[in-house]
A and B are shown apart, each in its own frame.
Chain A
Amino acid sequence: MKPKLVSISEEIVRWSFEISVNRSDDWFIAFTNPTAGPWKRITAPDSNGEKGEIHRFEIDETRPDLILVNDKTQLVLIIEAKTTFNDLQKPAQLAKTCQLFESLTLRLRNMSNNNFWGSRSKYEYSLGLLWSSGDESKSQISKTCQDYLKNITALTKDIICIQGYLENDSLKSKAYKAISGEILKLPN
C-alpha cells in the first residue's frame, strides 16, 4: 500500500532541497543534520576531489541544518530549516540561529590552513532560511529577515530565503535574497 503525503515537515522540505542540490554541478552539501546517522561532520573535497573532514560536531553542540558550498560563485550558505515560517520568527530561534551563524562563519573563515577547506575560508558566507510555504506574507518575510540581518550585519549583507512548495504533487523550492529581492539560481 503506497501512502500519500499529508503534511510537510522540515525534514521533508530539506530533503527535497538536498536532492536538487545533489543534482547540481555547482553546489555541494558540506553538512546535513538529520536526526541520526553518520552525518555529523562537515566535509568538503580538496583540489584533487578527495573528500575530507573539516569539523566534527560534538553530540550536544548546536548545529546548522545544512551547509552548502558553491565553488564557482565562491559562496557558502549556512542554513536553518524549519517546518513553518512562524517557527523562524520566534525570538529565541532568531537569537540561536544568528549566534550559530556567527560562530560557524568565524570558525570556517579561520580554516585557511585546512587541506580540505583552504581557499573556501575567503568565500562569501550567507545565512539561509528554509521553510515550507504557508500563509506568511512578503512583508512578514522581509521584516523577519531584517531582524536576522541586524544581528549578523558585520558578516553578511542579505539573507537567503528558500521556500519549499507543492506544485502538481511535486515538492519544489524557490530561492531569493530577502532584502534585495534578487532571485537566485540555486538548485531547483
Chain B
Amino acid sequence: MPHPLVGQEGLGIRPPTLDNPGMSNSQKVAEFNLWADSFHEGEWACRNIAREIENQGGSFQVQYDQGFIPAFSFQINDLEIGVHVYGNYGSWSPKPKALEDLLAWGKPDLVLINDRNDEILMAVEETAATPTGNQALQRCERQFGSAIEGFPFWYLISEFGLHSDGGVRRDSVWPSLMGLEIMTSLEIPSIVLHYSDLENPEDYESGKGMRSLFRIMMGVLINSTNGAEPMSGLEGELQSQIEEMTHFIDLTATNSLYFLPESESTKEEDLTKKLCATGDLRSSHRKDRENYLIWPLARELTALQQEEQSSRDLKKQDLFARELEKSIDKGESYGIIRGSGSKPQKEDQMKTWISQQNSLQMTWEKEVDSKYEELFRLQLKDFPKSPTGYHVITAPRILYLFDAFSKVIKCLSRAFPDLNYKSLLSIDSPSLVYVSNSVKPGRIFGDPYTGQIAAYATSFGALSKGRKFIAYFPHQSVAQAVNNFNNPSNKGLRIMKELTDYLVFGGGITLDMKTGEVL
C-alpha cells in the first residue's frame, strides 16, 4: 500500500503531499504507546509530532487520563492515531518484553510502541546539551543496544554547545561514525540528527535535526496506522538524514582523528533503500556484514599519514603500554585518535581504590592456579604525583589499530613473560587495542567506558568481524569480570561480550570473552 504522505521524491526532498485518491473513505484507527524516561520528554515529543501533523493539514487533541497520563489523538486524512505517554519506565507494569530487553542496554529517552502487537517501532535518545570529552560517547551504548536488539534508533543531539568557559563546543564525531557502521553492518536505522547552529548553540529550533526527527515519527505513526512497514516511503527524509551525518563526519572527523578513510558516496543511496525496504530487522539481515569505512592497515598508510605516527612517552610506566607505543615505531600499528588528557585523581580515593583492587585480586587468587599469584598488585608510589593528585594515564592514546593480532600477542608476551599466550598466536586478523586506565573498581562496566567500547568497537569493524577487539585495563582486577561474567544485569559486560574478544587486566591476566576462560 502506498504511503499517503510520500510523493515521488519522498519526505526529505519536498513537503509531503496529502493527496491519496486511492484510499478508502473508512476511517483507520490505531493506538500507540510512547514510553519515555520522563513525562516531560514524552509530551514534548508528542507536541512536536502534533506540529508536523498540523503542518500537513491535520489536527490533534490531548487529554490527561487519570489526571496525568497524556493521551494524544492525531487526525490526518482519514486516520485517527492515538498515542498514550508513559513516563518514568520503572513506575509501570507490565512492560512489553521487547521494551524490557531494550532497557537492559540502557534507557532511551523515548520508545514508540504499537499497542496492537507491542512491537517497538523506534527508539529515540535526545540531549539538551552538547556532551564533550568522555561524556560524548556515554549514550553510544544505547545506540548499540537498540541496534543489537533490532530496533531503529534516532539520536537527537545539539551540534553546538556552550561550555562553562564561555566557548562553543561542537559534537563528537563518534555517534555519527558508529551510526553509519551500524546501518551498513546490520541494516538498521541508527541515525544521528543535529540541531542548533554556531550562532544559536543548544537551540532546538535551529538547524534541521529536530523537525526531521518528528517528520520521521509522524511518518512511522501514519505507516503503522495504515498497516504499512514503519519506514516505508520515508526514503527521502532518511536519505537526507544520512547525508547530513556523512557531511558532519567529513567536516569534523579530523578534529579528533588523524585522518578519515575515503567513503563511497554511492553507498548512501543503497543504504537508504535497504533501510526503508526492510521490515523485520531482528535476525535475517545480518548475514553479509560490511563496513561503511575501511580503515587501512599500518603498512597501507600514506607517507603523510605515517609522518604523524611515532611513539610517545608514558606518564605512568606500564610494560604493555610501552610495547604498544613501540609497535607504532615498528610499523605494526598506528594511533587514530589525537591526544588524550590526564585528570589526576585524589589521594584518598586512590588509596581506597587500590586497596579494593588488591583485595579483589587476592581473594580471586585463592581460588585459581598459583601461576597468577601476585601478578597484579597496585601501589600508590607507582602513580606519578601531581599538585592535585595522582596521574593514572599509562598509554598516551586510547586506541591502537594493529595490522595483525599476533603482533598484539607478542607485545603481551614481552610485557608479561610469566604468562603463556601461545594459543592466541594462530589467530589471524587485524586488531584494535583499547586502553582504559580507570582505577575505581567496577567503573569500567559503566559510563563512559561502555559507551566508548560500543562506539570504538562498532566504528572499527567489530560488527562485521573485520577486527579483533582487545581491551586493556591495567589497573583493574580480572576478578570483577570473572565474578560477573554470567550476571545479566551487568550492562558493561553484556556489551563487552558482544563486541570484544579479549580483556587484558592488571598483570596481563587475559579473559577470553567468548568462553569466559582465563588464559
Contacts and interface: CB of A to CB of B under 8 A. Distances in A.
Contact of A34 (B38, B91, B94): B38
Interface stretch (B122-130, B180-188, B259-267, B328-336): B122-130
Given A19-B64, A39-B40, A170-B66, 17 more contacts: A1-B94, A5-B91, A9-B88, A9-B91, A11-B38, A15-B39, A34-B39, A35-B38, A35-B41, A36-B37, A36-B109, A37-B41, A38-B202, A38-B204, A39-B128, A40-B128, A171-B67
Nearest to B68: A16
Interface of A: 1-9, 11-12, 15-16, 19, 32, 34-40, 58-60, 169-172
Interface residues of B, number: 32
Given A60-B164, A169-B66, A170-B67, A35 B37 contact: yes
B499 to A, nearest CB: 26
A12 B67 CA distance: 11
23 contacts: A1-B94, A2-B33, A2-B84, A2-B115, A5-B66, A5-B91, A5-B92, A6-B93, A9-B88, A9-B90, A15-B38, A15-B68, A16-B68, A19-B64, A19-B68, A37-B44, A38-B128, A39-B128, A58-B164, A59-B164, A170-B66, A171-B67, A172-B67
Q: Classify the interface of chain B: helix, strand, loop or mixed.
A: loop
Given A11-B39, A36-B126, A37-B41, A171 B93 contact: no
Nearest to B41: A37
B86 interface: yes
Nearest to A168: B66
A2 B118 CA distance: 10
B47 to A, nearest CB: 12
Rank and list the top 7 A-B pairs by shortest CB-CB distance, nearest first.
Answer: A16-B68, A34-B40, A3-B92, A15-B39, A170-B67, A34-B38, A6-B93
Contacts of B90: 7, 9
A11 B109 CA distance: 14
Nearest to A61: B164
B93 A4 contact: yes
Nearest to B204: A38
B39 A32 contact: no
B32 to A, nearest CB: 11
Nearest to A3: B92
B87 A15 contact: yes
A183 to B, nearest CB: 20
A11 B41 CA distance: 11
Nearest to B33: A2
Contacts of A16: 67-68
Given A1-B96, A2-B84, A170-B66, A36 B91 contact: no
Contact of A15 (B40, B127, B204): B40
Contact of A37 (B40, B92, B93, B95): B40
Contacts of B204: 38
Given A37-B40, A170-B66, A1 B118 contact: yes
B126 A37 contact: yes
Contact of A11 (B84, B87, B118, B127): B87
A171 B96 CA distance: 24
A36 B38 contact: yes
